[in-house]
A and B are shown apart, each in its own frame.
Chain A
Amino acid sequence: MTEACLTFRDLTLGYDSHPAVHHLNGTVKHGSLTALVGANGSGKSTLMKGIIGVIAPMSGMVTRKWGASVAYLPQQSELDRSFPARVVDLVSMGLWPKRGLLGRTTRQDRASVASALLAVGLEGFETRPVDTLSGGQLQRALFARVLVQNADIILLDEPFNAVDAQTVADLIALIGDWHGEGRTVIVAVHDLGLVRDHFPETLLMARRPIAWGPTAEVLRPENLRRARRFDEAWHDDAPWCEPQDGPGHRHDDGHRHPPAGHADTGRREPAVSPPA
């Protein structure tokens, strides 16, 4: 299980030339369960969007293991709850990677949707319109959709927001099941207690990577203090980060690179890969 599933090479992602994820290097091992921790604005969501390819890197690259499929549950779903859809319609969208635009849904597909609803505790909700669901029920339904997607890599962006303790416990159990099945799971979480109890590995971000490795080592007080002390604002007068292999972007975190060759020598924070 030491095979790399996701590889980041000097990855910089951002908006309007301002980096939100800055020079990230490292690999996510196949079958690992990683918590993505950091303050608001530290680049967690941006990193997930970069992994699924919704935003393109400003420099560097993300490579995914060949043939690995990804399921992504965004923090702010663009789900239109006024749309006349039933819970079963929503969850069946997870069949898309398998059936695509025109593929016929089989009895087996319907069975997988039904078992996903059962697994998240929403049996009997099949024909409920989505606009009648509570926040927690909707989150369970979205987890069911991830289940149906049956993906190798699962990205969950702050899935426990506005969800009660019982639902968090149920969803954590599902995440544990995915980990047990050898899927690669990355979850953005704020609750450090949850991270310590349930996530073997942690990537701590403050726009740039602060620490990455076994959770107990990463969540040490000095790391957390450093993660808190980053500058969230953008500076239009920030110096340009000289491009290695892409368009330039501005530096906002106050560090300057030496004039040449920063990819090798200039980084204050050497990128850390989790041990095998």
Chain B
Amino acid sequence: MYEFFIAPFAEFDFMRRALAGSLMLAMSSCPVGVFLMLRHMSLAGDAMAHAILPGVATGYLLFGLEVLPMSAGGLVAGVVVALGAGAVSRFTVQKEDASLAAFYLISLALGVLIVSLRGSSVDLMHVLFGTVLALNAAALTMIALICATTLLLLAIFWRALIAECLDPLFLRSVSRLGTPVHFVFLGLVVLNLVSGFQALGTLLAVGLMILPAAAARFWAHRIETMCALAVATGFVSCIGGLLLSYHAALPSGPAIVLSAGAIYLASVLFGSRGLVRARTSQHRHRTA
């Protein structure tokens, strides 16, 4: 038991750092994922993940495999795409899905072009799929800062975020916060994807955001419990994924996201609002 669950983390420094980094990542990106899902923007998260690629690639092109320039580049690219797509959808007739798709496709093509200018396919693999086992102190500090910022902003804007999801027109009729809140939220999505790309890569970072949230939807009826469950699911996925990666010598990023995927599939089937329960409980009903 100890051998299997504790020893890898007790014995190896890189495993402890990976654990700390991925848990902080889950702590902040899972609640963001819940709101992303409830705003029907789950795929927008995926698009944003692609969108930060050219920024990361530019950072890599100029400074090599360094955390800060790559993250800063990703942040800039993500914010440009989020603001551009958000502004197009808020101020023109085009909806967010179309404007975001347009912006992220441009961004993605640019990113692939920049990566190909220098570097081998190994580097591209690193950018796309991350290496949670190689998190250094700088990366951990950045993840911690982003985690703290996210939790603080979520706490401040909690009520407005819920109002903006539940009844945006009402929020507009009582407050001017609707548009700012939308952009703050998009900013949080970008921040958490940038935070996740070191550990999981640009493509898989969104997995830890969406899968736990989607799984929690099958168990919870209220947003508070949904966020708590999503974070718990994220924690279990990170620990499980790291152990799986360690014992079976698998790449860590996909192992973490696949653990979350397994929990999601189990929730679809066996959740309190899942398939099995819906089939079996239909045979009985109350008198009123």
Query: Which residues in A have some Cβ–Cβ distance to B below 8 Å?
Result: 52, 54, 70-72, 74, 77-80, 83-86, 89-90, 93, 96-97, 100-102, 129, 145, 149
Contact = CB atoms under 8 A, between A and B. Distances in A.
A54 B172 contact: yes
Nearest to A86: B222
Nearest to B169: A78
A90 B226 CA distance: 18
Contacts of A52: 173
Interface string B174-212: 110100000000000000000000000000000000000
- For the complex of A and B, 6 pairs with smallest distance between CB atoms: A78-B169, A72-B173, A96-B174, A79-B167, A83-B166, A52-B173
Given A72-B173, A90-B167, 9 more contacts: A83-B165, A83-B223, A85-B223, A89-B162, A96-B174, A97-B174, A100-B175, A129-B221, A145-B170
Q: Which of A77, A79, A96, A129 has the most CB of B within 10 A?
A: A96
Contact of B220 (A80, A84, A96, A102): A84
A25 B226 CA distance: 51
B156 A79 contact: no
Nearest to A76: B169
A107 B23 CA distance: 37
Nearest to B34: A84
A78 B156 contact: no
Contacts of A72: 170, 173
Contacts of B226: 84
B157 interface: yes
Contacts of B221: 84, 129
10 contacts: A54-B169, A74-B169, A80-B166, A84-B221, A85-B223, A86-B222, A96-B171, A101-B160, A102-B156, A129-B221
Interface string B15-39: 0000000000000000000000010
Contacts of A100: 175
A14 to B, nearest CB: 16
Contacts of A96: 159, 163, 171, 174-175
B160 A85 contact: no
Nearest to B225: A84
Contacts of A85: 162, 166, 223
A93 B173 contact: no
A83 B168 CA distance: 12
A93 B167 contact: yes
Contacts of A71: 173
B34 to A, nearest CB: 10
A84 B222 contact: yes
Contacts of B174: 96-97, 149
B31 to A, nearest CB: 14
A52 B170 CA distance: 11
B156 to A, nearest CB: 7
Nearest to B168: A78
Given A84-B220, A84-B222, A101 B157 contact: yes
Contact of A83 (B38, B156, B157, B171): B38
A80 B175 contact: no
A70 B175 CA distance: 11
Contacts of B171: 96
Contacts of A70: 173
Contacts of A79: 166-167, 170
B165 A77 contact: no
Contacts of B170: 72, 74, 77-79, 93, 145
A96 B156 CA distance: 15
B180 to A, nearest CB: 11
Nearest to A78: B169
B54 to A, nearest CB: 33
A79 B157 CA distance: 19
Nearest to B223: A84
Contact of B166 (A54, A93, A101): A93
Contacts of B162: 85, 89
A142 to B, nearest CB: 9
B201 to A, nearest CB: 31
Contacts of A83: 38, 165-166, 223
A276 B149 CA distance: 56
A96 B164 CA distance: 12
Given A52-B173, A84-B38, A84-B226, A77 B156 contact: no
